[in-house]
Structure 1
Amino acid sequence: MQAKSVRASHILLKSTQSRNPYDRFRDKQVTRSDADAEKGIREIRAQVENNLNLFAKIAQERSECSSCQKGGDLGEFTRGQMQKQFEDVAFALKVGELSQPVKSDSGWHIILRTG
């Protein structure tokens, strides 16, 4: 049976092609290319994949989503609340599992399912 809701955290790197290429939390325009955003999220994933305890700390330091203030925690959500590319991956993960890089209209993410 598929879960009706999941809880997840994420780290987001935006690019100039993101739907809103601005980091509101740090009050700066994002100037990196899409390829550089993908490369950056892959590097971050390599840092956290063997030590998920680093996830929240790195989210606070690097994520370009306001959830960075909560270590990337997005809370619990149901289908239809997130962009489809993000949602499909979040719902497919097992609790405690880290995604491969995911591209959405917002940018490049890695997702950690927490519940």
Structure 2
Amino acid sequence: MSSSKGGGGGGGEVRASHILIKHQGSRRKASWKDPEGSIIKSTTKESAVSQLNALRDDIVSGKASFEDLASRFSDCSSAKRGGDLGPFGRGQMQKPFEEATFALQVGEISNIVETDSGVHIIKRTK
């Protein structure tokens, strides 16, 4: 009977930033940096994952900041804000994205997360 939707005691809101790389299997094959979708349509999921892993390595090793790489490489319009998606609660994001974000500690960066939008790395900020 009880629903896990909504802001019950264990839910609450989180805030996160992400870097999204779209690929040929993505739901929408266009982005702010590829309006025609020509790059996205020729990007395999494997290629998108390896691009993200390289970006994640640069962030974890301290070579680059999450926000800088998000603003340059993310296919999401949140790139303009360094990848910041703002606060959100349960039921507002695609399930794999939500589960990964709520499982992170503040400041932690996820491994690759797959959704219908593409592949992401997520940094929980609140």
- Structure 1: unaligned runs, 5 residues or longer: none
Q: CA deviation at 1:69?
A: 0.3
Q: Rg bigger for which structure?
A: 2
Does 2:122 correspond to 1:111?
Answer: yes
Aligned to 1:12: 20
In structure 1, give the amino acid aligned to 2:22: K
Tell me which of 90, 93, 96 is aligned to 2:107.
96
In structure 2, give the amino acid aligned to 1:10: H
Tell me which of 56, 76, 83 is aligned to 2:67.
56
Report Cα offsets for 1:24-65 as digits up to 9, x if no partner.
344241120111111111111111113396111100100000
Q: CA deviation at 1:3?
A: 4.2
In structure 2, give the amino acid aligned to 1:63: S
Cα distance in structure 2, aligned partners of 1:88 and 1:78: 11
Runs of 4+ in 1 over 3 A off after TM superposition: none
Aligned to 1:44: 55
Does 2:92 correspond to 1:81?
Answer: yes
Task: Give the 3-state SS of the residue equivalent to 2:46 in structure 1.
Answer: helix
Structure with higher strand content = 1
Aligned length: 115
Q: CA deviation at 1:21?
A: 1.5
Aligned to 2:10: 2
User: Are residues 53 and 42 of structure 1, via their aligned partners in 2, closer, same or farther at CA, if it must alter by over 3 Å?
Assistant: closer
Task: Give the 3-state SS of the residue equivalent to 2:107 in structure 1.
Answer: coil
Sequence identity (%): 42
RMSD across aligned positions (CA): 1.6
